[in-house]
Amino acid sequence: MPQHDLAPTVSLACHDLRTPLATVSGFAKTLLRADGLDERTARFVGMIDEASDQLTELLDELGVVARIESGRYEPALVEADTLELATCDDERVVAAGVGETVETDPPAVGRALRALGVAASRHGGVERVTWTVRGRELELAPVTAEAAPVVAGDALRDFSSLAARVVIEALGGSLALDGERLVVRL
């Protein structure tokens, strides 16, 4: 059987999955705004909405990784502040420090930093992790011994962490573990 580059196939699948996913997400959001939902139904619809958002994010990550691996990644480079990139809407991940303007792909890098923080919290069994931003260098802590291989992208237990590493390195950055800290340079 001939070998094929699967990256274009993966990109196409990501694209084709977006339409039905957008339908599910749209109806869930519409139902959440509707009057008269009982508490149990509202909770279930909220879970559907949250899961569809997570799937959308995974499709975005998978699509970017497929483009990077096939050599077709053309990031839309714009100026962004590193502190803003590290700030996300997940209560498990906080950011503090002093940012610096960098030229990067903000949606991809923002997703990557969020994913690394969430993975450090989830796989490390800690309630909250912090990005300490010092210009182009960002430190994530704590990264426990259990979470370290996952966050570094070495243990294949979290696709988002692996995608984060691929994106950051494709944009000329680096990731390195230093004790209980992950140091990211953009």
Q: Are residues 139 and 54 part of one domain?
A: no
Quick one: pLDDT at residue 1?
46
Rounded CA gap, 72 and 66, in Å? 8
Q: Are residues 145 and 58 part of one domain?
A: no
Q: At what angle do helices 39-69 and 7-33 cross, to 10 degrees?
A: 160
In 70-170, alpha helices (H): 82-86, 106-124, 148-151, 159-170
Q: H-helix or E-strand containing 147? A: none
Q: Are residues 163 and 106 part of one domain?
A: yes
Rounded CA gap, 160 and 50, in Å? 17
The answer, yes or no, to whether the previous bond of 106 is cis (omega within 30 of 0) is no
Please report, as a single letter, which amino acid is at residue 59: L
Nearest Cα neighbor of 134 from 69, 66, 86, 62 is 86
Nearest Cα neighbor of 168 from 116, 93, 121, 129 is 116
Query: pTM score, two decimals?
Result: 0.84
pLDDT tens per residue across all 186 residues of the chain: 455 566 677 777 878 888 899 999 999 999 999 888 899 999 999 999 999 988 988 888 888 888 898 888 999 999 999 999 999 989 999 999 999 999 999 999 999 999 999 999 999 999 999 999 999 999 999 999 999 999 998 888 889 999 999 999 999 999 999 999 999 999
Q: Are residues 99 and 34 part of one domain?
A: no
Question: Both tokens of residue 141?
Answer: 């802590």
Q: Which residue has the tokens 């009057």?
A: 35
Please report, as a single letter, which amino acid is at residue 182: L
- Provide the number of structural domains found in the chain: 2
Q: Are residues 142 and 50 part of one domain?
A: no
Structural domain includes residue 1? no
Q: Are residues 110 and 35 part of one domain?
A: no
**First vs last C-alpha separation in the chain:** 41
Q: Are residues 65 and 152 part of one domain?
A: no
Domain boundary (20, 45, 69) is at: 69
Structural domain containing residue 172: 78-185
Structural domain includes residue 169? yes
